[in-house]
Structure 1
Amino acid sequence: MRVIRVTADLTVPDLDEAKAFYTDFLGLDAQDMGLDWVTRVVVPASGEHIQLLSRDATGPENPLLTVKVDDVDEAYATAQRLGYEIVHPLTTEGWGIRRFFVRAPGGIVLNIAQHHDPNE
């Protein structure tokens, strides 16, 4: 398994208010994800981004980071083998992501994810 990208997930009480702060004040571009509980703001020149979420749609708690990987099934098997706490089981979500949540040392919850082609 190889890590492709790491994204900060910030829990906010009001998505619209938070999105306005990051776009109007910091000049980031809003990227609509088509979901009512999460949005992304992007640094125009570099593509770096932050995800803003009110609550995770299916997970029992909000993650602090999303780690995109090239093989989420391998990551899940490795996390289980190493005895890490699985907070949300490996799931193929309707919005095109296959993911699970794992608790890292210190209690931080990570969303380990891979884009998924629903036609597979």
Structure 2
Amino acid sequence: MTVTLQYTNVTVSDVDEALTFYRDALGLEVQQDVPSGDYRWVTLGSDAQPGLGIVLSVPHAGRSKADGDAMQELLAKGVLPMLVFSSDDLDATFEAVRASGAEVLQEPIDQPWGPRDCAFRDPSGNTVRISQAPAA
């Protein structure tokens, strides 16, 4: 039996604003843009990991008013789960994302557990870490 991750949802306050970070700064490609009434779900991916997608949507998309309100509060507090990406050139990736105007939380550093990594906030306040495996 083989189990793989197909996609993960990222709750954002504004899908278009989030696209400037995930598509333009990180270089992910839009795979689908699915409207549904007042909402839409945008799936992004990368040729480096075919079949894996990140789905951007706002708190109330596909949720009850109460659940959407709760997600909006968590998003505003910046306490939703972080995303961790990997890069084969962390310093170049860091400079590209920083040049986009993203909020830098941590410049690239070597971590005691192995990888070199950095951290940003996306436009909605989600924490995004980017790591590079240690040299062999």
Tell me the TM-score range normalised by the shorter chain.
0.3 to 0.5
Task: Give the helix-richer structure, 1 or 2.
Answer: 2
Pair member with larger Rg: 2
